[in-house]
């Protein structure tokens, strides 16, 4: 018999939905666009990983948005599901509630590798990306999904119509216009989410030498881990005035 890792601290158990309580302090929020995408993915592939539930407090540690959508899809909160059951103190539960949703230690995309996947046929929309993402990644030759023309009888009650789509090749001019419209939608989301979105971003470098050189170039300490965006913007604007 193979040795089981000693680092597994959960057990999978079937519980009733009524046992899963939302953590009252949960700081995560989701906007309409994000919720729609999450719901679409749940309907398409189902629940691919279990929610995390702290038996000691009855609170969900992770999975608040998914359980809310599951309630909607099930039509009521009267059902059972498999969850990862853990036993944590209130302090550790709160820490893990944030840690499991934080991006600090989850890595980032290798953009050339991601670009190759998309150009190789990856459905960028199903993977949670949009046209603005494609522009950032540098995918120049892509097709955009457009709704098909369907009769009302063909569309199930309550369906948002997202499944009725076809790939449409765009001309360079049409792609530029599509990206422009996507940027406008992103700006609208930014306006609608004022005060709700994350207030940070992450930069990564191939080496410490590259990172420290960049930091020194813009007037920061080589070992600094945080840079205020407003201060960096002021530095860039001044450098532009000075002609770098």
**CA dist., res. 213 & res. 232, Å (int):** 15
Is residue 202, in this structure, part of any structural domain at all? no
Domain count, the chain: 3
Q: Which of 64, 99, 134 is the last residue of a domain?
A: 99
Q: What is the mean pLDDT of the chain?
A: 82
Question: Which pTM was predicted?
Answer: 0.65
DSSP string over the chain: -PPPPTT---EEEEEEGGG-BPPTT------HHHHHHHHHHHHHH---S-EEEETTT-BEEE-HHHHHHHHHHHSSS--EEEEEEE---HHHHHHHHHHTT-STTS----HHHHHHHHHTT--TTTTT--HHHHHHHT--S-EEEEEPP--GGGSPTT--STTSEEEEE--HHHHHHHHHHHHHHHHHHHHHTTTTS--------SSHHHHHHHHHHTT--TT-----HHHHHHHHHHHHHHT-
**CA dist., res. 35 & res. 39, Å (int):** 6
pLDDT value for 150: 40
Is residue 180, in this structure, part of any structural domain at all? yes
pLDDT value for 18: 97
pLDDT value for 160: 53
Is residue 143, in this structure, part of any structural domain at all? yes
Q: Which of 99, 131, 166 is the last residue of a domain?
A: 99
pLDDT value for 31: 85
Domain of residue 72 covers 11-99
Q: Are 118 and 142 in contact (CB under 8 A)?
A: yes
The two three-digit tokens of residue 81, written as one number: 């599901």
Measuring CA to CA, how many Å separate 70 from each of 33, 42, 64, 73? 17, 8, 10, 5
In sequence order, the β-bridge partners of residue 81 are 15
**CA dist., res. 133 & res. 124, Å (int):** 9
pLDDT tens per residue across span 53-97: 999 999 999 999 999 999 999 999 999 999 999 999 999 999 999
Domain check: are 184 and 234 in the same one? no
Q: Is the pLDDT of residue 152 over 90?
A: no
Domain check: are 62 and 118 in the same one? no
Q: Is the pLDDT of residue 188 over 80?
A: no
Is residue 6, in this structure, part of any structural domain at all? no
Q: Which residue has the higher pLDDT, 228 or 178?
A: 228
Domain check: are 16 and 59 in the same one? yes
Is residue 217, in this structure, part of any structural domain at all? yes
Is residue 28, in this structure, part of any structural domain at all? yes
**Antiparallel, parallel or unpaired: β 11-16 and 80-86:** antiparallel
Nearest in space to 35 (alpha carbons), one of 202, 196, 200: 196
Is residue 199, in this structure, part of any structural domain at all? no
Domain check: are 148 and 182 in the same one? yes
């Amino acid at each position: 018999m193979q040795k089981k890792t000693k680092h597994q601290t959960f057990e999978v158990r079937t519980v009733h939905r009524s046992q899963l309580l939302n953590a009252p302090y949960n700081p995560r929020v989701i906007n309409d666009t994000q919720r729609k995408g999450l719901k679409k993915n749940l309907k398409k592939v189902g629940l691919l990983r279990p929610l995390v539930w702290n038996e000691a407090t009855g609170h969900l540690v992770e999975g608040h948005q998914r359980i809310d959508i599951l309630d909607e899809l099930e039509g009521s909160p009267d059902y059972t599901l498999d969850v990862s059951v853990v036993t944590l103190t209130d302090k550790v539960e709160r820490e893990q509630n944030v840690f499991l949703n934080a991006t600090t230690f989850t890595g980032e995309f290798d953009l050339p590798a991601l670009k190759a996947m998309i150009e190789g046929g990856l459905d960028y929309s199903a993977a949670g990306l949009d046209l603005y993402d494609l522009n950032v990644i540098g995918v120049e030759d892509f097709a955009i999904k457009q709704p098909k023309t369907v009769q009302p009888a063909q569309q199930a009650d309550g369906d948002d119509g997202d499944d009725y789509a076809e790939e449409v090749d765009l001309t360079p001019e049409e792609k530029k216009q599509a990206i422009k419209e996507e940027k406008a939608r992103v700006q609208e989301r930014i306006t609608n989410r004022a005060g709700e979105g994350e207030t940070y971003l992450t930069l990564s470098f191939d080496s410490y030498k590259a990172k420290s050189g960049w930091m020194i170039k813009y007037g920061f300490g080589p070992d600094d881990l945080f840079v205020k965006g407003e201060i960096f913007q002021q530095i860039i604007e001044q450098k532009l005035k000075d002609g770098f």
